[in-house]
Amino acid sequence: MDRRQNLYGDIFEQLGGKPDSKDSQSTVSQKKTSSYTPSDMSPEDQRSLSKLFEVNRLLKKELDETKRELKVTKDKLAKAKR
């Protein structure tokens, strides 16, 4: 059993490469990509997926707005009950 454990060693130990550091600047751009399209998707599928994501964003905005309105209404009701 000890032999098997020694074969794998410490899985959390970093053996090579540059240690993670928040102060160091990476040569790779840290720019966040806003979209990802796999190469195996057809253009039609890509358009459909883009439309789906756009509608999803709009629905999230609408939901957030409705939640804010509900909170305001609940606050007004609570004040009226007092």
Contact residues for 37 (Cβ-Cβ < 8 A; gap 6+): 46, 49
Could you tell me if 37 and 46 are in contact, meaning their C-beta atoms sit under 8 angstroms apart? yes
Query: What tokens appear for 56 in the block?
Result: 């999803």
Per-residue pLDDT of the chain (82 residues), as tens digits, is: 455 555 656 666 666 666 665 555 555 556 666 666 566 778 888 899 899 999 999 999 999 999 999 999 999 999 999 8
Size of the chain, expressed as the number of residues it contains: 82
Other CB atoms within a 10 A radius of the CB of residue 18 amount to: 8
Q: Give the whole-angstrom CA distance, residue 42 versus residue 59.
A: 26
**Residue 41 and residue 49 in contact, taking contact as beta carbons nearer than 8 Å:** yes
**Is pTM beyond 0.75 here?**
no
